[in-house]
Amino acid sequence: MYKVLLTLAFCVTFAFAFPASEAQYGDTPWEADVPMTVKGFHSFTQKFGLNYPDTTEYFQRLANYIKHAKAINTQNAAYRAGNSTWFARLNEHHALSEKEVVDLKTGYIPAPEFEFTNDHPMLNTTDAPNGVDWTDRLSGVQDQKCGDCWAFSAAAAMEFKCGAGKASEIEIRDCSGAGTCKGGNPFRAIQSSGSKGIESRSQYPVPPSSSSNQPCKAQGGSCHDGGVTTGSGAARLQSMVSTGVVSVTVAAGGQFMHYGGGVFTGTCGTSTNHAIAAVGYDSSNWKVRNSWGTSWGEGGYIRMPIGKNVCKVEKSFGMPR
């Protein structure tokens, strides 16, 4: 009880120590700071449908929110001053600690059978367009509920090949043998699931947001591939994205969880722990699709500069053949 009371006193004092306007969350983030107050936290929980009836958890979530709000406001001050290329935005994950986000919302595990080198022959190097965007070839951004990012990354690449909604993320997770809710490998998933075949979301009887492993309910489906092509380096990634959606791995720590828009050049941590999907590029930047819902980033997407290997996005990637 003493610990709870101490936590209560600390959090309430800390929350009211930072006067700020109670900005609406629809406001442009760099025009209005996120309020670091109890009232601001209540608005946040209502917006995202969060409820914390346990007193101890409530104050821990409040402390997490205030810590993140401070980081968001600091980043946006730098953006407003013209000292950064990206701004931060409050999203539904900001009641979690950074460790919880990494534990719950990542899940990439390397597999020794895949090599990532930049000495492979390029794909369409002379004919590659100046820019592509495959977003319209995919279904909506999903929100993973456990460490199965690898399945969502693989599904995005397979979905481009087979059609929107034609590759069930959860069938890949449950049936590919490439991983579980505790992590897995997207390239192994593309190779395994593409060989056996993948059912569509409408066929596989588990919703895309399933938060726990399920027994495999399918023996294969109509979505196939001929294996996986891997690579490393910005030039090779560009040549591959010019032909389709590519499963990419990234380091998703640090400021990555705060990304709201612009060209991301923030901190990402040192560990490659997450799998997402490169869906396009222009003359300067990659367009990459995450699986953290649409409240994160630019409707679930992030832009990163080409040739800078931000978050190690140009280090290891693959796509269906």
For 271, other C-beta atoms within 10 Å of its C-beta total 13
In a 10 Å sphere around its CB, with 0-12 CB exposed, 13-18 middle and 19+ buried, how is residue 247 labelled?
buried
311 phi-psi bin (left φ>0, alpha ψ -120 to 50, beta other)? left
How much is the pLDDT for 123? Answer: 52
CATH number assigned to the domain with residue range 105-320, chosen from the 4 options 3.90.70.10, 3.40.50.620, 3.50.50.60, 3.90.420.10: 3.90.70.10
Residue 101 corresponds to which tokens in the numbers above? 């986000």
Q: How confident is the model at residue 193 (pLDDT cuts 50, 70, 90)?
A: confident
Q: Distance (Å, rounded) from C-alpha 165 to C-alpha 207?
A: 12
CA atoms within 13 A on the CB side of 92: 18
Which amino acid belongs to residue 210? S
For 67, other C-beta atoms within 10 Å of its C-beta total 15
From 64, 76, 285, 290, the catalytic residue: 290
Q: Distance (Å, rounded) from C-alpha 163 to C-alpha 181?
A: 25
Decide if 244 contacts 160 (C-beta within 8 A). Answer: yes
288 forms beta bridges with 278, 302
CA atoms within 13 A on the CB side of 50: 20
Q: Distance (Å, rounded) from C-alpha 104 to C-alpha 109?
A: 14
From 268, 274, 285, 311, the catalytic residue: 274
What value, to the nearest 5°, has the Cα angle with vertex 270 and ends 266 and 247? 80
From 11, 146, 149, 181, the catalytic residue: 149
CA dihedral 95, 99, 101, 105 (to 10 degrees): -160
Helix (H) or strand (E) holding 285: strand 285-289
149 classed as catalytic: yes
How much is the pLDDT for 120? Answer: 57
How much is the pLDDT for 30? Answer: 52
How much is the pLDDT for 43? Answer: 94
Decide if 151 contacts 176 (C-beta within 8 A). Answer: yes
20-73 pLDDT tens trace:
333 333 444 455 789 999 999 999 999 999 999 999 999 999 999 999 999 999
Mean per-residue pLDDT, 176-203: 93
User: Domain limits of the chain?
Assistant: 2-95, 105-320
CA dihedral 47, 50, 55, 61 (to 10 degrees): -80
DSSP assigned state of 141 = P
Q: How confident is the model at residue 126 (pLDDT cuts 50, 70, 90)?
A: low
Q: Distance (Å, rounded) from C-alpha 289 to C-alpha 172?
A: 18
142-156 pLDDT tens trace:
999 999 999 999 999
Decide if 152 contacts 169 (C-beta within 8 A). Answer: yes
Which amino acid belongs to residue 152? F
